[in-house]
Amino acid sequence: MRIILLGPPGAGKGTQAAFIKEHFAIPQISTGDMLRAAVKAGTPLGIEAKSVMEAGQLVSDALIINLVKERLTESDCQQGYLFDGFPRTIPQADALKDAAVSIGFVLEIDVPAEEIVTRISGRRVHEASGRVYHTTFNPPKVEGKDDVTGEDLILREDDKEETVRKRLDVYQQQTRPLIDYYSAWAANGSQDAPQYRKISGLGSVDEIRQRILDALK
């Protein structure tokens, strides 16, 4: 099973990816998590990506395409995978198409902008694993601590209000066109076309998980 999760910043891609990867026993490939790990480790990629991410802009297509290509050669990707945050430009989607990677489902999580701001402002993350919480809607068992490791939760560098607004703009300009790209491809009936599913991302985390499981049947 190969799946692409599409949706704006704060739609709940990372939250739902945690369930989907367990359910289908496939790895989650989150380019955002991979970039944050590179920034933390201070690798050449991380050094290049840091200021771009903090400004709410997208890292260059060439860097991302290389990063994903390398990741796909790893042994855990042979039975499928879940893309979270990739592709997010037309050139990235074209690169995937050119590599003849056949995608089973493109799943769009639709969430209105007002809700996104509320979600992102309460987000807390466990840096090492990428596990995501919300102070009100998805709180950890112990305040400020990761459920699994007990380590501290942090605020993401790019979750400042001004940066979030920029990320939403960038989404509209550069990533939203992928909705048409994939829904048109799915509708043209060609053999290699993915199935396109759109679900509402409003409701509780559990309700959305159920919608996703139904959509992927």
- The contact set with ligand AP5 (CB under 6 A) reads 7, 9-15, 31-32, 35, 52-53, 56-59, 64, 85-86, 88, 92, 119-120, 122-123, 132-134, 137-138, 158, 167, 203-205, 208
Strands (E), the chain: 2-6, 28-30, 81-84, 105-110, 123-125, 132-134, 195-200
Residues 56, 164 contacting (CB under 8 angstroms):
yes
- Answer yes or no: 119 catalytic: no
Kindly state the smallest distance separating residue 92's Cβ from ligand AP5, in Å: 6
Q: Single out the catalytic residue among 123, 124, 209, 211.
A: 123
Nearer to Zn ion, 8 or 14 (CB): 14
Nearer to Zn ion, 14 or 201 (CB): 14
Nearer to ligand AP5, 154 or 187 (CB): 154
- Any idea what the Cα angle at residue 87 is, between residues 54 and 107, rounded to 5°? 115
- Answer yes or no: 88 catalytic: yes
Q: Which residues are annotated as a binding site?
A: 10-15, 31, 36, 57-59, 85-88, 92, 123, 132-133, 156, 167, 203
Residues 67, 95 contacting (CB under 8 angstroms):
no
Q: Which does 167 bind (CB under 5 to 8 A by kind): Zn ion, ligand AP5, none?
A: ligand AP5
Residue 18 has a CB neighbour count (10 Å cut-off) of 18
Task: Give the whole-angstrom CA distance, residue 8 versus residue 4.
Answer: 13
Q: Which residues are annotated as a binding site for ATP?
A: 10-15, 123, 132-133, 203
CB-count burial class (<10 Å; 0-12, 13-18, 19+) for 53: buried
- Any idea what the Cα angle at residue 126 is, between residues 76 and 155, rounded to 5°? 135
- Answer yes or no: 13 catalytic: yes
Kindly state the smallest distance separating residue 37's Cβ from ligand AP5, in Å: 11
Among 88, 102, 110, which residue's Cα sits nearest to residue 181?
88
Residues 8-47 that bind Zn ion (CB under 5 A): 14
Q: Does 194 bind Zn ion (CB under 5 A)?
A: no
List contacts with Zn ion (CB under 5 A). Answer: 14
